[in-house]
Amino acid sequence: DLRPPVISLALQPGSGLFMAVLIQMTIAGKSLIGGNMEMALAANLTASSRLRQDTAGIPGFSCRSCRVALVSVKTNLPSSMLPKVMSKFLDSTLQKVLPGLLCPAVDAVLNLVNAKFTTMTSEIPLGSAGTLQYALLNPPLMNETFIELDLKTILHQKEGKEVDLPTDQPSLVSLPPKRDAATQLILSANFLSAELSVLQASFNLEISNDTVLGLPPLGTTMLGALIPEISRVLPPSQLLVIEMREAKAPVVTITPEKSFVQLFSTAEFWVSSSDSALESLFVLDVDSNLEVQFAVAEEKLQLSLALQSLSRVALASSSLGTFDELPLTGLLADVIRVAYVPSINRVLRGGIPLPDLLGITYGQATLSGFQVG
């Protein structure tokens, strides 16, 4: 009859985990003098384990030592039989058998923990855009109160190409203080930028009058009113199509007050000719600043963007000759705010999967931003 064990755990700085287990059991059987015998014993199991990193970047515990020491033994045998029988039983049975019975349980528990670490490094699909994988960048560090895991993220585009990510880690002194009794996960702005770069091909959008309500009529008449010098070469009352694409990887900036995403887009203006084929008129380079809001849902980091301003609008190429592109700034802001940003937010609803750290959940997570100086 084995009672539930009393387990005490302690972190060993620079080493691993120390485990002390108080085990209480009752052994019943036939005594050597006949009749039933019951023996209640208590034993202390002490074990130390090392937290390591394997070649695949997976953390794991391995047992370094395991010892069992008897604390007390009580029996229902007559007191006259106790010394001889007890001595023989302890010497020949308990001291030899208990370690072999109990120490394998330590390995079994560590294997269960290590299995949870393995799920942390599983490859996670990012919709149809690519995959994300977490692994250890450096060996785990043990403190008296917490374990520090420096994770690297491996991002692959759908074609299989790996996305380059800076491996420089901020120093501990630059990070926000560790809260007691809480797991703290820090995601870098570089990682979020790389994540958006994997998704950026999904941001491409063709915008016309049928795309979304709330836009001004997109046609050559409206375009000619904004840029009079090209109205002479544009056919009147023809429909326009604006194709938005990302030319460079987005850049995420995180500060304690607000966080932003910079998009580097191209806006190509097309017109429908008489045979319904599209003809390119000109291409604009458009840099925009968007505020980003973070939330956690379904164990994923959710991002939502809102346009703040256009920082740059420049003519990249034109079949109509050169012209002043600044009058198009207001139109582009409306197109990006009403049609393009909502389309990007729909792509971002899939969220960024967070690492599975020993089965913890992120549903009650508190989000805060900080900036490394």
Pairwise CA distance, residues 224 & 236, whole Å: 8
Q: Which two structure tokens, joined as six digits, stand for 4?
A: 């539930």
Pairwise CA distance, residues 178 & 170, whole Å: 15
The alpha carbon of 18 is separated from its chain's Cα centroid by a whole number of angstroms, namely 29
pLDDT tens for 151-186 read 888 899 888 888 887 666 666 556 667 777 778 888
Distances (CA, A) of 249 to 58, 183, 197, 208: 29, 31, 5, 25
Residue 213 has pLDDT above 80, yes or no: no
- pLDDT for 170: 60
Q: Return residue ranges of the chain for CATH 3.15.20.10.
A: 183-353
Pairwise CA distance, residues 346 & 304, whole Å: 9
Pairwise CA distance, residues 268 & 205, whole Å: 11
CATH fold of the domain at 2-119: Bactericidal permeability-increasing protein; domain 1 (3.15.10)
Give the amino acid at 205.
L
DSSP letter string, 144-208: SS-EE--EEEEEEETTSPBPP---PPPPGGGSPPPPTT-------HHHHHHHHHHHGGGG-EEE-
pLDDT tens for 325-366 read 999 999 999 999 999 999 999 999 999 999 888 778 888 888
Can you list the alpha helix ranges (DSSP code H) found in 277-358? 329-335, 341-348
Q: What's the first-to-final CA gap in the chain, in angstroms?
A: 60
Nearest to 151 by CA among 59, 252, 52: 59
pLDDT tens for 223-259 read 989 988 888 888 788 889 999 999 999 999 998 889 9
Which class for 176: exposed (0-12), middle (13-18), buried (19 or more C-beta within 10 A)?
exposed
Contacts of 142 (CB under 8 A, 6+ apart): 11, 12, 13, 14, 15, 16, 51, 148
pLDDT tens for 97-128 read 888 888 998 898 889 888 888 888 888 998 88
The residue whose two tokens read 């977490």 is: 134
Q: Which two structure tokens, joined as six digits, stand for 238?
A: 């023809």
Architecture of domain 183-353: Super Roll (3.15)
Pairwise CA distance, residues 14 & 141, whole Å: 6
Residue 81 has pLDDT above 60, yes or no: no
- pLDDT for 251: 95
Q: Return residue ranges of the chain for CATH 3.15.10.10.
A: 2-119
Contacts of 176 (CB under 8 A, 6+ apart): 184, 186, 368, 370
Give the amino acid at 266.
T
Q: What share of the chain is helix, strand, coil (3-state, %, to 5)?
A: 25, 40, 35
